[in-house]
Structure 1
Amino acid sequence: MRDNSTSGAAVDFLLHLVDSADAERIRRRIGLPEAEGDPETRRSLLWSWTRTAVPSSVLLWVLEEDDPELNKWVWRHVSADNAMRRAIARGVPFGHARVEPVTVAESVDVTDEPPVPVNFTRFGLIGALREGTSMQSARTAASMVLERSDWQTVTEADQDRPLPGYARWALSIRPDCPPALRAHFGTHRKFTHRVEQAGVLDGPADYATAWGPASDVLQVLSTGQLMFPARAAEAEDALRPLVREHLADHEDAWAVLAQLIDTFHGNVVELVVTAGAIA
């Protein structure tokens, strides 16, 4: 197992889902120290977080906190796209109840905001979306949909005259696309599957149980209370019954899990069930 800042944090996340006394005994058994809470360890975890590829919805959950100090980590994340970085640089709020702009952290260099697409300058938002003749050009145009009012404009334009297929798809795979608009674009099984494969998830429970590899998912979830506290409990609640059923207080099962986690390619559910079965 790697050091506690990576896979150690992943195992520690699952241990927090069982009785604290059992968790302490299991930590001693598998040689896992208690997670450190000092600033240096926290910073190491966050830098590791920015280098772990995640579905776009995970970054949206962080943005919904409307916290400048959290936004700066999204800005640095390998999975952040132009739309997210543009929104952060412009202080766009993502929380459902917030309307005022979000302060931009000093460490975010707004001069690095992605350039405004040429088609947007020439044709405006809807014109640029209608001009998109490829997925790349459509996604470039879609990156200019930032404010809630922009989504309303898009909705009204599509109702007036349906947007081209590329534009609809580029908008659908934006994690902040309003659910009603995405459902209007498509509801059949193949469409919803492709949207999920593009990184748009129903919520943290979906991410916790269906995404992989398990080590990466658990590493991200281990920062959940810090990065997306409003949604973190959904993932914990989804995994808690599974952990208690297959691992519980069985030291051998936890030891197997700690040995498997670095090389296991399946999701968290498969990891937990496999460790319990082997033990």
Structure 2
Amino acid sequence: MRDNSTSGVAVGFLLGLIDHEDADRIRRRTGLPEPAETATTRTAGHNALLWSWTRKAVPVSVLLWVLQEDDPDLNVWVWRHISADNAMRRAIVRGVPFGTARTDPLPVAANLSREDEPPIPESYTRFGLLGALREGTSMRAARTAASMVLERSDWQAVTEADHDRPLPGFARWALSVRPDCPPALRAQFGTHRRFTHRVEQAGVLDGPADYATSWGPASHVLDVLSTGRLVFPARVGEAEDALRPLVREHLADHEDAWAVLAQLIDTFHGNAAELVVTAGAIA
């Protein structure tokens, strides 16, 4: 295994969940990189890591966790990310906060401005926010209108409007697949199995623990979570807490189990929880 490989970083994330002395010994055994390679202090040296991260497709909820840091510099990387949509980019250049502790507008990084905002939908100009959502007669039109729902007050207005007179199906779908859609509103839209499946397919997750234990392939997920220690540190602990008991039960300080995991991870298609259990069982 190469020290700079994605699989090396992924195994390194799991090693961070056991005792430091045991982890150091296992690193020597498997040839994995030292933990300093994924340090959480942001320096110029992390630019290459962040640039690489922007080219990795991720569930949209992962980008929401980054936005919840309310960090203008991190928002630039979300703007550049291949999985970002117009709603996220619009919110970023308007300084919309996503963290629960902030209510005032967020400063916008110097290399972004309102001139970079995606075009304002014509339907919004003609009918306003709620009118545009009700006028959408296709998924594309509904998504375009939904990209104008930004502030908490917008979501509240949508909630009240749908309660008074249900929004059209396309609008409900377009709003429900937004990762920042309030859970209560999404539940108000419906709980039909097909509806829930569409939300899941869009990459809307309950949280980092759900991502860590349910999504695959494990190598990619763990690589993203490793970067998460840098770009969404406030939420990555939820993933660590979900995986830590499994790692300690099935791998612990057993060098053979970690060696098996390092051999499996590049070709393993299941999620991280399945990877850990499988490696432990084989060893």
TM-score, normalising length: structure 1: 0.95
- State the alpha-carbon separation in 2 of the partners of residues 244 and 233 from structure 1: 16
What does 1:1-279 correspond to in 2, within 5 Å?
Answer: 1-4=1-4, 6-35=6-35, 36=37, 37=39, 39=43, 41-108=45-112, 110-279=114-283
SS at match of 1:138: helix
- State the alpha-carbon separation in 2 of the partners of residues 169 and 117 from structure 1: 18
> 1:255 offset after TM fit, Å?
1.4
- State the alpha-carbon separation in 1 of the partners of residues 276 and 16 from structure 2: 14
- State the alpha-carbon separation in 2 of the partners of residues 225 and 110 from structure 1: 30
- State the alpha-carbon separation in 2 of the partners of residues 180 and 231 from structure 1: 21
Moved more, 95-104 or 41-50: 41-50
* Matched letter for residue 97 of structure 1: A
Kept in 2, the 8 Å contact 1:93–1:102? The answer is: yes
Kept in 1, the 8 Å contact 2:3–2:31? The answer is: no
SS at match of 1:223: helix
> 1:77 offset after TM fit, Å?
0.8
Number of residue pairs aligned between Structure 1 and Structure 2? 279
- State the alpha-carbon separation in 2 of the partners of residues 48 and 261 from structure 1: 20
* Matched letter for residue 4 of structure 1: N
* Matched letter for residue 136 of structure 2: G
When the two chains are superposed, the root-mean-square deviation of aligned CA atoms in Å is 1.6
**1:158-191 residue CA offsets vs partner (Å, 9 max, x unmatched):** 1222110000010111111111111100123442
- State the alpha-carbon separation in 1 of the partners of residues 3 and 139 from structure 2: 41
- State the alpha-carbon separation in 2 of the partners of residues 127 and 3 from structure 1: 55
- State the alpha-carbon separation in 2 of the partners of residues 228 and 54 from structure 1: 13
> 1:278 offset after TM fit, Å?
2.2
Kept in 2, the 8 Å contact 1:5–1:41? The answer is: no
Unaligned ranges ≥5, structure 2 = none
Unaligned ranges ≥5, structure 1 = none
Kept in 2, the 8 Å contact 1:27–1:34? The answer is: yes
Kept in 2, the 8 Å contact 1:5–1:45? The answer is: no
Kept in 1, the 8 Å contact 2:3–2:33? The answer is: no
- State the alpha-carbon separation in 2 of the partners of residues 20 and 271 from structure 1: 21
TM-score, normalising length: structure 2: 0.93
- State the alpha-carbon separation in 2 of the partners of residues 122 and 205 from structure 1: 42
- State the alpha-carbon separation in 2 of the partners of residues 41 and 208 from structure 1: 26
- State the alpha-carbon separation in 2 of the partners of residues 229 and 276 from structure 1: 28
SS at match of 2:27: helix
Moved more, 189-198 or 132-141: 189-198
Kept in 1, the 8 Å contact 2:9–2:33? The answer is: no
* Matched letter for residue 222 of structure 1: S
> 1:109 offset after TM fit, Å?
5.1
